[in-house]
Amino acid sequence: MTEMNKAKALEEARRVVGYIESESLSEADKTAIHDDSIKNFNENVNPGWLEYRKSVSDDAAFIEWTDSEEHFEDLHGTQFIDCLGGFGIYTCGHRNPAILKTVKAQLDKYALHSQELVDPLRGYLANILAMITPGDLQYCFFTNGGAEAVEMALKLARLATGGRWYISTVGAFHGKSMGAISMGGKGAYREDYVPLIQQVQHVEFGNADAMEAAIKNLQTVGEKVAGVIIEPIQGEAGVQIPPEGYFKKVREICDKYDVALICDEIQTGMGRCGTMWRVEHEGIVPDIMTYGKAFGGGVMPITGIIARPKMWVEKLIDNPWILGSPTFGGNPLACSAAISTIKFMLENDVPKMCAEKGAYIMAGLEKLKQKYPTVLVGYRGAGLLICMEFPEAEVGYKVTKGMFERHVMTAGTLVNAKTVRIEPPAVLKQETMDEVLAKLDEALADAKKEFNL
């Protein structure tokens, strides 16, 4: 670092801190932030990012600046109703006041931990989490992002079973780190990184017989399977819901062949689908379960795994860090947010809120499907994990852009708008849901006219 660059960096840091700490911005400040953001993304983040965001708007320069509960706002105070929810982050809303209060209180005590002394919040969170998860799930390991949690689950399955193979599903999404993307079931995310983890087989989602055949064949030729990893509902694949009884059968298969069942609840968990955990829908207990997204209450990033006692083998007790040692995993600020999130969810029965509001939105979608059958060709969902299906991706893009023009944020799945997600906060008010459905009606009408459907 040269002295000139040092001086420039200091000047720039002071300017940006000034923006952050300012209670209000001048019009000149807003213009500067707008122009700086475009320049910085193109020169220092990724030149393709702004182009990609055009999936929601022809103007890529909307700058997110503040948020509150149902909405986020741009630099100029324009409010957008959030029906994307950060792909599942904001179940409790944006900057939920109760959760924010807890995190601020913890910040006034200490923010991160020494790495050596006992941090009580990690223990408290693990204990409370064991209380609200199915069956005998007990031991927790906290991480920072969803893919990292999946990595820990994959490693734990190998440690506990001695197996080396994994069974995943076509269309699956488990993150984009090397292990997680090896489990992923979309070729476009995998092709540039092959060879990935080699001991992985993908079977059709929802087909328990195909899963059993894959495990049986591997074991017949002397290969031991460590784990099956599966989403209770495939979110990124377009909210794909498996047939009833599928998870009970998968649980039976895993027990039969002594294979660890890993359920990825990062998006489906924490009330999103109408129960605290989607696996409760069929009453099964996984051996390892991942969680994240809404777990930090939309305030702090925190993810992790929880496992049954039989998975916590002696190796993990003898060397607690053999599984992993994330510097910021389970830090006090994140744990305070997660504890407060669980408190808020239990006090307000957020899973019930998601179930009831999801049913209301899907009833509205049914009316719109009848009104525009050539545009909205289908919809499906559980709780507030909902998707709309269109005849072509271009039609879906038109609808998402139409919604954005009307100040409602939605988005496609797996970089494809043939299916478009509705994943709003559970705190969405009745009148807001009605407003969203009315604006969707208008956007569907526009798409019908443009594509002559």
Contact indicator for 57, 404 with CB cutoff of 8 Å: yes
Say yes or no: 406 and 439 in one domain. Answer: yes
Final residue belonging to a domain, choices 348, 374, 397: 348
Say yes or no: 228 and 142 in one domain. Answer: yes
Written as one letter, the residue type at 259 is: V
Instruction: Tell me whether residue 9 is in a domain.
Output: no
Final residue belonging to a domain, choices 302, 320, 348: 348
378: which DSSP letter?
Answer: E
Tally the domains of the chain: 2
Instruction: Tell me whether residue 94 is in a domain.
Output: no
Say yes or no: 214 and 192 in one domain. Answer: yes
Instruction: Tell me whether residue 7 is in a domain.
Output: no
Contact indicator for 70, 408 with CB cutoff of 8 Å: no
Instruction: Tell me whether residue 78 is in a domain.
Output: yes
Instruction: Tell me whether residue 93 is in a domain.
Output: no
For residues 87 and 297, give the distance between their C-alpha atoms in angstroms, rounded to a whole number.
13
For residues 348 and 262, give the distance between their C-alpha atoms in angstroms, rounded to a whole number.
29
Say yes or no: 76 and 116 in one domain. Answer: no
Alpha helices, DSSP H only, in 283-322? 314-318
Structure tokens at 279: 């696996």
Say yes or no: 73 and 124 in one domain. Answer: no
Say yes or no: 308 and 336 in one domain. Answer: yes
Tell me, what CATH number does 203's domain have?
Answer: 3.40.640.10
Direct distance between the N- and C-terminal alpha carbons of the chain, in angstroms, rounded to an integer:
59
Say yes or no: 332 and 357 in one domain. Answer: no
Say yes or no: 33 and 78 in one domain. Answer: yes
Final residue belonging to a domain, choices 307, 324, 348: 348
How many CB atoms within 10 Å of residue 90? Answer: 28
Instruction: Tell me whether residue 1 is in a domain.
Output: no
Instruction: Tell me whether residue 128 is in a domain.
Output: yes
Say yes or no: 365 and 268 in one domain. Answer: no
Say yes or no: 353 and 342 in one domain. Answer: no
Please list the rounded mean pLDDT of every run of 10 residues in the chain (453 residues): 92 93 92 89 82 55 86 91 93 97 97 91 97 98 97 97 97 93 89 90 98 97 98 94 97 98 98 98 97 98 98 92 93 98 98 98 98 97 97 93 93 76 96 98 97 93
pLDDT of residue 46: 85
For residues 359 and 102, give the distance between their C-alpha atoms in angstroms, rounded to a whole number.
32
Say yes or no: 197 and 332 in one domain. Answer: yes
For residues 233 and 266, give the distance between their C-alpha atoms in angstroms, rounded to a whole number.
11
Instruction: Tell me whether residue 368 is in a domain.
Output: yes
Tracing tokens 């993304």 back to the chain, one arrives at 41
Written as one letter, the residue type at 385 is: L
Among residues 436, 367, 395, 366, the alpha carbon closest in space to that of 85 is found at: 436
Tell me, what CATH number does 399's domain have?
Answer: 3.90.1150.10
**Residue numbers of the domain that contains 28:** 24-88+349-453
For residues 412 and 61, give the distance between their C-alpha atoms in angstroms, rounded to a whole number.
19
Say yes or no: 342 and 360 in one domain. Answer: no
